[in-house]
Structure 1
Amino acid sequence: MYLALLAAAYGATLGHFVPRAAYRLAVPQGDPPRDACPRGHPLEGWLGPPPCATRGTRWAVATAVAAAGLALTTGPRPELAVWLLLLPPAALLAAVDARVHRLPDVLTLPLAAAAALLLGAAALAPHPEGSWRDALLGGLALGGAYFVLFLVNPAGLGFGDVKLAVGLGVALGWYGWGILFTGAFAGFAAGGAYGLGLILARRAGRRAAIPFGPFMIAGSYLGLLLGGLAA
Structure 2
Amino acid sequence: MSALLVTGVALLGAAAGWVAVPVGRLFVTVPAGGPPRRGALALVGAVVFGGLAAARGGDPALPALLLIAATGLVLAVTDLTTLRLPDPLVGLVAIGGGLGLAAATAATGEPRRLTVAVAGAAFSFIGYALLALLPRARLGFGDVKLAAALGLPLGWLGWPALRLGLLLPHVLAGVVVLVLLAAGRVRRDTPVPFGPAILGGAWLAAVLT
1:108 corresponds to which residue?
90
1:14 corresponds to which residue?
16
Map 1:71-220 → 2, pairs under 5 A: 71-126=53-108, 131-153=113-135, 155-220=137-202
- The number of residue pairs the alignment matches comes to 205
Cα–Cα, structure 1 residues 69 and 127, in superposed 2: closer, same or farther, change >3 Å?
farther
What letter corresponds to residue 2 of structure 1 in structure 2?
L
Q: Larger Cα Rg: Structure 1 or Structure 2?
A: 1
Once the two structures are TM-superposed, the CA of residue 162 in structure 1 deviates from its matched residue by 0.6
- Cα distance in structure 2, aligned partners of 1:221 and 1:127: 25
- Cα distance in structure 1, aligned partners of 2:147 and 2:122: 9
1:43 corresponds to which residue?
none
Identity of aligned residues (%): 33
Cα–Cα, structure 1 residues 93 and 80, in superposed 2: closer, same or farther, change >3 Å?
same
Contact between 1:9 and 1:64, CA under 8 Å: does it hold in 2? yes
Cα–Cα, structure 1 residues 157 and 181, in superposed 2: closer, same or farther, change >3 Å?
same
Partner of 1:174: helix, strand, or coil? helix
Once the two structures are TM-superposed, the CA of residue 23 in structure 1 deviates from its matched residue by 3.6
What letter corresponds to residue 146 of structure 2 in structure 1?
L
- Structure 1, unaligned stretches of length 5 or more? 28-33, 40-52
Partner of 2:139: helix, strand, or coil? coil
Superposition TM-score, scaled by structure 1 size: 0.81
- Cα distance in structure 2, aligned partners of 1:110 and 1:88: 10
Once the two structures are TM-superposed, the CA of residue 206 in structure 1 deviates from its matched residue by 2.3
1:45 corresponds to which residue?
none
Cα–Cα, structure 1 residues 206 and 154, in superposed 2: closer, same or farther, change >3 Å?
closer
Contact between 1:14 and 1:60, CA under 8 Å: does it hold in 2? yes
Cα–Cα, structure 1 residues 58 and 203, in superposed 2: closer, same or farther, change >3 Å?
closer
Superposed CA RMSD: 2.3
Contact between 2:67 and 2:93, CA under 8 Å: does it hold in 1? no
Contact between 2:67 and 2:97, CA under 8 Å: does it hold in 1? no
- Cα distance in structure 2, aligned partners of 1:135 and 1:62: 26
What letter corresponds to residue 89 of structure 1 in structure 2?
T
- Cα distance in structure 2, aligned partners of 1:137 and 1:54: 35
Once the two structures are TM-superposed, the CA of residue 127 in structure 1 deviates from its matched residue by 7.6
Contact between 2:16 and 2:73, CA under 8 Å: does it hold in 1? no
Superposition TM-score, scaled by structure 2 size: 0.89
- Structure 2, unaligned stretches of length 5 or more? none
Partner of 1:25: helix, strand, or coil? coil
What letter corresponds to residue 115 of structure 2 in structure 1?
R
Instruction: After superposition, give the CA deviation of every residue in 1:157-181 in whole Å (9 maximum; x if it has no partner).
Output: 1110011011111111112222111
Partner of 1:152: helix, strand, or coil? coil
